Amino acid sequence: MGTGLLLALLLLPLLGSLGVAFLKHDDLLAKRVTLGVTLLELVLAVLAFTAYSPGGARIQFASSVDWISQVGVHISFGVDGIALVMIGVIALLVPIVVLAGWADKLPQGRSAAGFLSLVLVQEALMVGVFAATDVFLFYVLFEIMLIPMYFLIGGYGGARRQYAAVKFFLYSFLGGLIMLASAIGCYALAADKLGKGTFDWATLVQVVHDAPLETQIWLFFGFFIAFAIKAPLVPLHTWLPDAAEQAPVGIAVILVGVLDKVGTFGFLRYNLPMFPDASKALAPLVMVLGVLGVLYGSLLATGQRDLKRFIAYVSIAHFGFIAIGIFAFTAQAQVGAVSYMVNHSLATGMLILVIGMVIARGGSTSIADYGGMAKLTPLLGGMFLIAGLSTLSLPGTNSFVSEFLVLLGSFPTQPVAAVLATIGMILAALYVLWLYQRIMQGPVRGTALVGISGGPGSATDPEKAKVLDLSGREIAVLAPLVALIVLLGVYPKPVLDVVNPSVTATLTSVGAAVPAAAQEGK
């Protein structure tokens, strides 16, 4: 059953996208069909969760067919707990994004069908990239995945969308090529050892993991650079602010919420098991990059003047935490990092959506154009605050569990990095609450709000600026996220339990018999 579910998860959005592509002349129908398909996908994902047994095989729901048998390339899929929760996040976020963009105006001459069918293709490819268990297939999907995103940003984005789309594409594509080089290197190693090359992930892990350290390091970097661009680690991050700024709101959610997680997922699935010695040897480097990301991203988030660029830098800070958690090599830190991948999608996804709702009302992405908005839209203000509190990892919200686990778990093995990263907790409070203050608190002000009643600056009485509070549809978009943010903050066990065995397996394959804290005390 599980295998069928996984294949259905892959094919459904693909078929859906084909169908939607034909609905060029009926925007509403296209939206409805897309929403239906994505909701069905969500149902499938939930079923997949129930079919998955956390204590079971390392890779479950596995299936495989030959693709290019001459060079040992297969089309094979399967999931572990880490991939499964990410697929769950995809299935959850896409319908929310579709609903959130329901009333968006598309650029002249573009149909909703075109946009939505790209979104569905994107969904299928993202599921594929997490489910691929053949390294070559993963590479192919990793690169192909860029194409719909390129068009989504470049075709439907803001004023500088072309520049942003090209920059996004080139960065990621180049990273992918470097990864391909490494993948071929691994293939060559397998050919040497087994007499026959292969790209099968499980086989490669066996073959490559005891290669000499120097070889491992070279191969490690090939994958690492690709992933460090994707889940942007400083200093490879500069494509993200442009992409996030120019992408339509919903696409930014997918980009930051899911696509970027392929990078951190890649660390876990490829770097650690395939190159364990290199991973351990280079952990200090990752710690430096992680801490740098946390502090640098946070400070830059504080200094941003644009709402969407703000989010990009917040994410860069959070990716720093995730990287630290992954390379600290303790179960707590790594489970924390994986749950961080989920929780960041929920928290930052919600923050982007809320900010999108602010922008939809004020028509400006500049922070300085707003002020005192909570007075006009108290509900939107409340939602903004909830998303913000989750972003700053307040206990009781989902993000606290993951951030706390990352820091607590990293402390025994990487005390310096962990302590420096805790400064990020203070900075997070600063950038979130300061943004909230500038947008929502104080007297009603700013050209985006005051100008609304009849051209910028025309409203003499700020209190009379007509800005509507959340609509029913918008509440429906945010409500599931709020519910999950609170639920997973108070009762995170279901996610932790799914992730824990896969993390343990990953750590075992690294040979990181690193004791999680001083266990002699227990």
Partner 1 sequence: MTHTLLAAEGALPAAGVAQSAWLLLALPLFGAAVLLLGGKATNKWGHLLGCATVILAFVYGLTLFLSTTSLKAADRIQELHLFSWIPVDSLSIDFGLRLDPLSLTFVLLITGVGSLIHVYSIGYMSHDTDRRKFFAYLNLFVAAMLLLVLGNGFVTLYFGWEGVGLASYLLIAFWQHKPAAATAAKKAFLMNRVGDVGLAVAIFLMWANLGTTQYTEVFAKIGTLDGGTVLAISLLLLLGACGKSGQFPLQAWLPDAMEGPTPVSALIHAATMVTAGVYLIARSNPIYDLTADGRLVVTIIGTVTLLIGCVIGCAYDDIKKVLAYSTVSQIGYMILGVGLGPVGYALGITHLLTHGFFKAGLFLGAGSVMHGMNDEVDMRQYGGLAKKMPITFATFGLGYLALIGFPFLSGFYSKDAIIEAAFGQEGWRGWVFGGAAMLGVALTAFYMTRLMLMTFFGEQRWKNLKSSDGRDYHPHESPAVMTVPMIILAVGSVFAGFLLTNGNFLANWLEPSLGELKEAGHPPLPAAAMTALSLGLMVVGVGLAWLFVGRKPVPVTKPERVSWVVRAARADLYGNKLNETLFAKPGEALTKGLVIADDKAVDGTVTGIAGALAFLSSRLRRTQTGFVRSYALTMLGGSVLVVAALLMVRFS
- x/- letters, 202..221, toward partner 1 (CB under 8 A): ----------x-xx--xx--
Q: Please enumerate in sequence order all residues whose Cβ is within 8 A of that of 519, keeping only pairs 6 or more positions apart, or say none.
A: none
How near is the Cβ of 129 to partner 1 at its closest, in Å? 19
Nearer to partner 1, 131 or 478 (CB): 478
Contact between 159 and partner 1 per CB under 8 A: no
Contact between 467 and partner 1 per CB under 8 A: no
Contact between 500 and partner 1 per CB under 8 A: yes
Size (the chain), residues: 522
- Tell me which DSSP letter residue 271 carries: I
Distance between CA 505 and CA 120 in Å, rounded?
A: 32
Task: Using the rule CB under 8 A, give the single segment among 31-39, 70-78, 171-179, 320-328 that binds partner 1.
Answer: 171-179
Contact between 170 and partner 1 per CB under 8 A: yes
How near is the Cβ of 427 to partner 1 at its closest, in Å? 9
Contact between 189 and partner 1 per CB under 8 A: yes
Single out the residue of 85, 440, 488, 512 in contact with partner 1 (rule: CB under 8 A).
440
Phi, psi of 38 (to 5 degrees): -70, -30
Contact between 291 and partner 1 per CB under 8 A: no
Closest C-alpha among 286, 277, 290 to residue 217: 277
Contact between 419 and partner 1 per CB under 8 A: yes
Half-sphere exposure of 94 (CA within 13 A, CB side): 35
How near is the Cβ of 428 to partner 1 at its closest, in Å? 8
Closest C-alpha among 53, 16, 51, 14 to residue 36: 16
Single out the residue of 54, 158, 185, 456 in contact with partner 1 (rule: CB under 8 A).
185
How near is the Cβ of 72 to partner 1 at its closest, in Å? 16
Contact between 157 and partner 1 per CB under 8 A: no
Single out the residue of 63, 206, 366, 441 in contact with partner 1 (rule: CB under 8 A).
441
Name which of residues 295 to 354 contact partner 1 (CB under 8 A): 296, 299-300, 302-304, 331-332, 335-336
Contact between 375 and partner 1 per CB under 8 A: yes
Name which of residues 231 to 270 contact partner 1 (CB under 8 A): 234-238
Contact between 9 and partner 1 per CB under 8 A: no
How near is the Cβ of 504 to partner 1 at its closest, in Å? 7
Nearer to partner 1, 127 or 338 (CB): 338
Q: Please enumerate in sequence order all residues whose Cβ is within 8 A of that of 355, keeping only pairs 6 or more positions apart, or say none.
A: 249, 307, 308, 310, 311, 384
| DSSP-derived secondary structure for 333-383 | HHHHHHHHHHHHHHHHHHHHHHHHHHHHHHS--BGGG---HHHH-HHHHHH
Contact between 22 and partner 1 per CB under 8 A: no
Buried b (16+ CB within 10 A) or exposed e, 44-55: bbebbbebbebe
Element of type H or E holding 114: helix 112-131
CA torsion 363-366-371-374 (nearest 10°) is: 60
How near is the Cβ of 143 to partner 1 at its closest, in Å? 11
Nearer to partner 1, 101 or 501 (CB): 501
- x/- letters, 378..397, toward partner 1 (CB under 8 A): -----------x----xxx-
How near is the Cβ of 31 to partner 1 at its closest, in Å? 29
Task: Using the rule CB under 8 A, give the single segment among 63-71, 184-192, 243-251, 253-261 that binds partner 1.
Answer: 184-192
Contact between 178 and partner 1 per CB under 8 A: yes
Contact between 163 and partner 1 per CB under 8 A: yes
Query: Please, where are the H alpha helices in 414-464?
Result: 415-440, 447-450
Distance between CA 362 and CA 348 in Å, rounded?
A: 21
Tokens of 348: 């930052």
Distance between CA 172 and CA 106 in Å, rounded?
A: 26
